[in-house]
Amino acid sequence: MAASVPELRRQLLGLFARLLEYPEAESAAEARACEELLAGAAPEAARYLAAFRRYLERTPIGRVQEAYTAFFDLNPVCAPYLGYQLFGENYRRSVLMLALVDRYRAQGFEFDRSELPDRVSVVMRYAAASGDDDLVVEGLIPALRRMTGVEQGPPVDGQGPAGGGSPQLEGHSHGGHLEEGVLLEMTEGSTAGSGRRAFEALLTGIRLALEALWSAAPATVPAGRPLEAGETQRQNGNGRVEEA
């Protein structure tokens, strides 16, 4: 059964927003839902979501929550704030946050006021509710490219974003592609860095999905099944997805 691109985008943005919030018991099921939605439309992204889902399934929820807090809130490897990723901690971020609040209000969008308006999960929820594709293309995708190390962001002053917790760690790198061995290690054995790598895989999968679905796309996308570990897919000349 084919899904319309606008509906698929809406569903995925809502699920991605949830996965970027504090983990709960249902997070593994939400990751699997993303994996299934992406299998036909963005198979490489589905592969990263599958790796993240397997981490959730084999790891006690308390440890997942600790890894999330360490990754995003205490000493974040990357700060999950749109304005900070695009502009750094300066007046332009403040202007963006005010503009976002105005846009949310105009659309009747409510968000948790304990969160900053430019937190990536909040922006994703708004984009899902409003269908604001420009915000995805001009804001979320560039921010995620910086969060995953594909592009360099603005200079970091060492203090991290205002309202974003402790100072940002330096020297992080999690570029566009994690090695297959890392994906397998995440599912076959526990290491000190498995939580960090799992959230890196999540961010990379989300970035790949947004890049695939907000590029030139057909009116519908094929449904597919989740990828298994080590499995890849490719598109043939007619745009149909085949197993490789």
Kindly report, residue by residue over 92-149, the tens digit of the pLDDT. Answer: 999 999 999 999 999 999 999 989 999 999 999 999 999 999 999 999 999 999 999 9
Band the pLDDT of 77: cuts 50, 70, 90: low
Alpha-carbon distance 68 to 78, whole Å? 12
Contact indicator for 140, 120 with CB cutoff of 8 Å = yes
Please tell me the pTM assigned to this model. Answer: 0.76
Band the pLDDT of 191: cuts 50, 70, 90: very low
- Which pLDDT belongs to residue 152? 80
Contact indicator for 78, 203 with CB cutoff of 8 Å = yes
- Which pLDDT belongs to residue 153? 65
For the chain, the DSSP string reads: --EEHHHHHHHHHHHHHHHTSS--TTHHHHHHHHHHHHTTT-HHHHHHHHHHHHHHHHS-HHHHHHHHIIIIIIS-SS--BHHHHHH-SSHHHHHHHHHHHHHHHHHT----TTS-TTBHHHHHHHHHHH--HHHIIIIIHHHHHHHTTSS--SPP-SS--TTS-SPPPSS----S---HHHHHHHHH---TTHHHHHHHHHHHHHHHHHHHHTSS--SEE----PPPTT--EEE-TTS-EEE-
Alpha-carbon distance 229 to 12, whole Å? 22
Alpha-carbon distance 2 to 24, whole Å? 30
With vertex at residue 221, the alpha carbon angle to CA 44 and CA 20, rounded to the nearest 5 degrees, is 50
The single residue listed with the structure tokens 């897919």 is 233
Going from N- to C-terminal start, the domains of the chain cover: 3-243
Residues 6+ apart with CB under 8 A from 60: none
Kindly report, residue by residue over 147-189, the tens digit of the pLDDT. Answer: 999 988 664 554 566 655 433 333 333 333 343 444 444 444 4
Q: Is the model more confident about 221 or about 65? A: 65
Contact indicator for 39, 154 with CB cutoff of 8 Å = no
* Ramachandran sector of residue 162 (left: φ over 0; alpha: ψ -120 to 50; beta: rest): beta
Q: Is the pLDDT of residue 239 over 60?
A: no
Alpha-carbon distance 168 to 165, whole Å? 8
- Which pLDDT belongs to residue 215? 85
Residues 6+ apart with CB under 8 A from 1: 223
What average pLDDT does this structure show over 37-50?
A: 96
Kindly report, residue by residue over 206-225, the tens digit of the pLDDT. Answer: 999 999 999 854 444 444 44
* Average of per-residue pLDDT values in the chain: 80
What average pLDDT does this structure show over 57-78?
A: 88
- Which pLDDT belongs to residue 183? 42
10 Å CB burial of residue 142 (0-12, 13-18, 19+) is middle
